[in-house]
């Protein structure tokens, strides 16, 4: 069971996680927070579930996570301050916060895979699902769903990228409360840079992305594109170079070729 007191002692934020909701079981923390009728509306609300019955991954995949072992939670942002022009960078702020927290607490080297997977030793340790609702043409709720494999050691099923967990890499049981508090502390700190130093977020993200400069393929449905991962643009979209031409890629799964 998640120890709320231990988590709270380590939480050092102003607003992220100050409204903290814990539940044993839910369909999906993302789906719940996206639904306005559930009345969870404080900016920075964090909803943590020990088990999700319909945990969602990117591209309609399923996110599997064993009960009580990992961290599966969502963060709600609804302050206009964050929902403007740099909104896409919150994707990068989130995966960067996960990576920095794993590095700080466990000295594991992380690798960031565009757009927002976190890998350790080439295996996926965390995934992020970014979802939003809008009113008119304005986004009014942004939900950042984060799944981290923490203490799970057995993974069954088919995965696009082989999974791992912090425990498997560290060979030690991990304190989930401390990790979540560290992550939310880091996330809030990185988020503060969104409107003042957005380039810093991308710079720190790119430092951990080892695919830049490599030959890659990007698949989106049946469509596969090849080229060199040239860079990210100022919004975090991928610049793919092919025969001297640069194409801006908004979505897709990147693989090295
Ligand atoms: C991916 O890598 O495909 C994204 C996985 C995101 C999983 C998290 S777990 C908490 C939140 N609730 C969900 O239903 N999904 C996200």
Do 153 and 239 lie in a common domain? Answer: no
Of the three residues 188, 207, 226, the one that is the final residue of a domain is: 207
Do 183 and 237 lie in a common domain? Answer: no
Cβ partners under 8 Å of residue 102, min gap 6: 108, 110, 118, 120, 125, 126, 166, 179
CATH number for the domain that contains residue 13: 3.30.930.10
Ligand 1 pocket test target in 55, 60, 155 with most atoms within 8 Å of CB: 55
**Ligand 1 pocket, CB under 6 A:** 28-30, 52, 55-58, 61, 63, 72-74, 117, 127-129, 145-147
CA 5 to centroid of ligand 1, rounded, Å: 25
CA 55 to centroid of ligand 1, rounded, Å: 6
Do 22 and 51 lie in a common domain? Answer: yes
Rounded to whole angstroms, the Cα distance separating 102 from 21 reads 23
Q: What is the pLDDT of residue 112?
A: 98
* pLDDT digit string, tens, across residues 204-243: 999 999 999 999 999 998 999 999 999 999 999 999 999 9
CA 75 to centroid of ligand 1, rounded, Å: 11
Q: Which atom of ligand 1 is nearest to the CA of 124?
A: 2
Q: Which atom of ligand 1 is nearest to the CA of 61?
A: 3
Do 169 and 237 lie in a common domain? Answer: no
Would the pLDDT of 246 be above 90? Answer: yes
Domain that holds residue 161: 4-207
Do 220 and 164 lie in a common domain? Answer: no
| Residue 90 parent element (H or E) | helix 89-106
Rounded to whole angstroms, the Cα distance separating 160 from 157 reads 10
Mean pLDDT over 14-26 rounds to 98
Do 134 and 47 lie in a common domain? Answer: yes
Rounded to whole angstroms, the Cα distance separating 167 from 221 reads 33
Mean pLDDT over 27-48 rounds to 97
Do 89 and 189 lie in a common domain? Answer: yes
CATH number for the domain that contains residue 233: 2.30.30.100
Count of domains for the chain:
2
Do 167 and 230 lie in a common domain? Answer: no
Do 163 and 84 lie in a common domain? Answer: yes
Do 99 and 157 lie in a common domain? Answer: yes
How sure is the predictor about 43, in pLDDT bands with cuts at 50, 70 and 90? Answer: very high
Do 76 and 123 lie in a common domain? Answer: yes
CA 62 to centroid of ligand 1, rounded, Å: 8
From the list 171, 105, 186, 180, the residue with the least C-alpha distance to 147 is: 180
* pLDDT digit string, tens, across residues 71-123: 999 999 999 999 988 999 999 999 999 999 999 999 999 999 999 999 999 99
Do 17 and 121 lie in a common domain? Answer: yes
* pLDDT digit string, tens, across residues 143-172: 999 999 999 999 998 898 999 999 999 999
Q: What is the pLDDT of residue 16?
A: 98
Ligand 1 pocket test target in 113, 145, 158 with most atoms within 8 Å of CB: 145
CA 126 to centroid of ligand 1, rounded, Å: 9
Helix or strand or coil: residue 154?
A: coil
Q: What is the pLDDT of residue 161?
A: 93
Q: What is the pLDDT of residue 221?
A: 87
**Adjacent-strand bridge partners of 83:** none
């Amino acid at each position: 069971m998640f120890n709320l007191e231990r988590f709270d002692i380590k939480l050092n934020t102003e607003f992220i996680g100050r409204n903290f909701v814990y539940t044993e079981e839910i369909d999906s923390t993302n789906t719940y927070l996206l639904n306005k009728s559930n009345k969870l509306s404080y900016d920075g609300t964090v909803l943590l579930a020990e088990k999700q019955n319909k945990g969602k991954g990117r591209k309609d995949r399923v996110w599997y996570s064993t009960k009580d072992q990992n961290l599966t939670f969502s963060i709600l942002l609804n302050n206009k301050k964050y929902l403007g022009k740099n909104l896409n960078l919150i994707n990068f702020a989130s995966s960067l916060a996960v990576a920095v927290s794993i590095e700080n607490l466990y000295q594991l080297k992380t690798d960031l895979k565009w757009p927002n997977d976190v890998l350790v030793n080439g295996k996926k340790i965390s995934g992020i699902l970014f979802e939003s609702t809008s009113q008119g043409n304005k986004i009014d709720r942004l939900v950042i769903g984060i799944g981290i494999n923490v203490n799970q050691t057995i993974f069954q099923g088919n995965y696009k990228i082989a999974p791992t967990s912090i425990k498997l890499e560290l060979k030690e049981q991990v304190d989930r409360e401390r990790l979540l508090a560290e992550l939310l502390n880091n996330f809030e700190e990185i988020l503060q840079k969104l409107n003042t130093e957005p380039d810093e977020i991308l710079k720190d993200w790119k430092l951990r992305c080892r695919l830049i400069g490599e030959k890659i393929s990007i698949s989106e449905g049946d469509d596969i594109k090849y080229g060199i991962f040239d860079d990210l643009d100022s919004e975090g979209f991928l610049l793919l170079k092919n025969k001297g031409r640069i194409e801006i890629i908004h979505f897709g799964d990147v693989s090295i070729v």
